[in-house]
Amino acid sequence: MPFTLAHLSDIHLAPLPPAHALDLCSKRITGYLNWQRKRRFIHDPAVLGTIVADMKAQAPDHIAVTGDIANIGLEAEYAAGRGFLDILGKPDTVSFVLGNHDIYVAECAGFAARAWGPFMLGDDGETFPYVRRRGPLAIIGLSTGVPTAPFQATGELGDGQLGALGALLHRMHDEKLFRVVLIHHPPVSDAPAYKRLTDAGAFMRVIARHGAELVLHGHDHRDMLNYIDGPNGARVPAVGVPSASVRPGMDKDNAGYHLYRIEGVPGAWRCEMVVRQMSEDGDVREVKREAL
């Protein structure tokens, strides 16, 4: 039987909790104004509920969430985010990595660790990068969430994560596991520079040296598939999903998620991607099936 991994991203839980004046004496003020002007009309909890119900009906073996549960990093968003993660499943069945909205300002790192910590821990209790062995998979979680200036949405891994990632990929290869890397910012993107992963080149050099079987990301709110170089001429699929809470017709792609059905052995892995997306009439349907 194949192992089924579900992937969703960019939850952007709505509604936004009340914000006090002191909360907005930071970068949060720009995000708050953007939420009131635009984003509150885009992200819909009813849409998110429909996506999650459809995903759970597919009975995946594990769920990966690649960041941006929060919007502007208000402390109350993290309690709500924990409630969302608990709906998805227990921490050992749900793996989460941080996005730029989750670390909107510096104090958010503490909020996230306290509320979401069990979903961001590896088998040995480590975090970022962490590794979780689930069935034939090694799920490797990275954080690109860093505080940035107003009007910036960049991400960064840093030398520490990049160095540790190489060693983890090498070890998981030796353990003959199917390596899935979770990251919020895409390594390949046509987004403006102020939204990109600043050390994407260094990340791709690690993948080129050590390899991976699959890279999953969010951030661009698009259904994306790029191939990046692995060792010995291999090509590693880097796949993005739309926001899971977008009202139909209100963003680049309608809300959706992916399923990955993985089976086989090293050197002969098989991975089938199933794309499920909300239609204009509010139903969630399979729109594509593809071997990666």
Distance CA 89, CA 196 (A): 30
Residue type, 133: R
Distance CA 274, CA 206 (A): 27
- Enclosing domain of residue 138: 3-291
Distance CA 40, CA 126 (A): 35
Question: What CATH number does residue 166 fall under?
Answer: 3.60.21.10
So what's the pLDDT on residue 23?
A: 86
So what's the pLDDT on residue 55?
A: 98
Name, in order, each residue with C-beta under 8 angstroms of 189's C-beta and a sequence gap of 6 or more. 195, 196, 197, 200, 219, 220
Q: Which two tokens stand for residue 33?
A: 């104004």
User: What confidence tens digit (pLDDT) does each residue in 10-33 have?
Assistant: 999 999 999 999 889 899 999 999
Helix, coil or strand: residue 163: helix
pLDDT tens digits, the chain, 292 residues: what are they? 899 999 999 999 999 999 999 889 899 999 999 999 999 999 999 999 999 999 999 999 999 999 999 999 999 999 999 999 999 999 999 999 999 999 999 999 999 999 999 999 999 999 999 999 999 999 999 999 999 999 999 999 999 999 999 999 999 999 999 999 999 999 999 999 999 999 999 999 999 999 999 999 999 999 999 999 999 999 999 999 999 999 999 999 999 999 999 999 998 999 999 999 999 999 999 999 999 9
So what's the pLDDT on residue 91?
A: 98
Residue type, 274: V
Model's pTM, two decimal places?
A: 0.97
Residue type, 195: K
Name, in order, each residue with C-beta under 8 angstroms of 54's C-beta and a sequence gap of 6 or more. 257, 276, 284
Closest C-alpha to 61, from 136, 140, 125: 136
| Bridge partners (DSSP) listed for residue 225 | 239
Secondary structure percentages of the chain, helix, strand, coil, to 5: 30, 25, 40
CA dihedral 188, 102, 192, 48 (to 10 degrees): 80
Residue type, 47: V
Distance CA 9, CA 58 (A): 17
User: What confidence tens digit (pLDDT) does each residue in 102-112 have?
Assistant: 999 999 999 99
| Number of independent structural domains in the chain | 1
Per-residue 3-state assignment (H helix, E strand, C coil) for 48-110:
HHHHHHHHHHCCCCEEEECCCCCCCCCHHHHHHHHHHHHHHCCHHHEEECCCCCCCCCCCHHH
Distance CA 21, CA 12 (A): 22
